[in-house]
Amino acid sequence: MQASLKPELIEKELISSLTFDKKSPVEQHPNLMEQIKNATRLGNAYHTKVSIYFNDDHGLKRVDTTIWASGDRYICLKGGVWLPIDRIVEVKS
Domain ranges of the chain: 8-92
The 10s digit of each residue's pLDDT in 18-42 is 999 988 889 999 999 999 999 999 9
State the DSSP string of 21-43: ---------TTHHHHHHHHHHHH
Lay out the sheet containing 67-70: strands in order across: 67-70, 74-77, 81-84
The set of residues, in sequence order, having a beta carbon less than 8 Å from that of 36 and lying 6+ positions away, is 67, 70, 75, 85, 88, 91
pTM over 0.75: yes
Encoded amino acid at 16, one letter: S
Domain at 8-92, CATH class? mainly beta
The 10s digit of each residue's pLDDT in 47-89 is 999 999 999 999 999 999 999 999 999 999 988 999 999 999 9
**Mean pLDDT of all residues in 5-25:** 93
The SS3 call for residue 73 is: coil
Residue 3 has pLDDT above 80, yes or no: no
